[in-house]
Amino acid sequence: MAVGDIVNGIATDGNTITFQPAASVSIMLSSVIGRATGAYLIDGVSVGYIGNLGNADAYMEPSDRVVKVFINNTNYYYSAASPVGNNSGYTGIQVQ
């Protein structure tokens, strides 16, 4: 991968997402999507809450989807498992 490359990932049927870039790579996540799950910044031990990604009865509001979170190999992205039948994902761009 190179600076400027678009990155994204999708988890289906209640699976989790852990996106940890390679060493010396930084990514700016511009959007996280999901239903009935949470988005987190983690370092393998500590967890920082980015936000709730909706619930089982309603789709997310636009403000829940748009983020500007920078991640790297030390502090990376995690999305908890959403209920079976729901998907979650992220998109961003490599900045370093």
Q: Which residues contact 10 (CB under 8 A, 6 or more apart)?
A: 87, 88, 89
| Domains of the chain, earliest start first | 6-94 (2.60.120.340)
pLDDT confidence of residue 85: 76
62 — phi, psi (to 5°)? -55, -35
**How far, in Å, CA of 50 to CA of 63, rounded?**
12
pLDDT confidence of residue 57: 47
20-77, pLDDT tens digit by residue?
999 999 999 998 887 777 889 999 899 888 877 765 444 545 445 678 899 999 999 9
pLDDT confidence of residue 80: 84
pLDDT confidence of residue 27: 97
Q: Which residues contact 48 (CB under 8 A, 6 or more apart)?
A: 40, 41, 42
Overall average pLDDT of the 1-29 stretch: 92
CA angle 83, 7, 20 (to 5 degrees): 70
The β-bridge partners of 38 are: 52
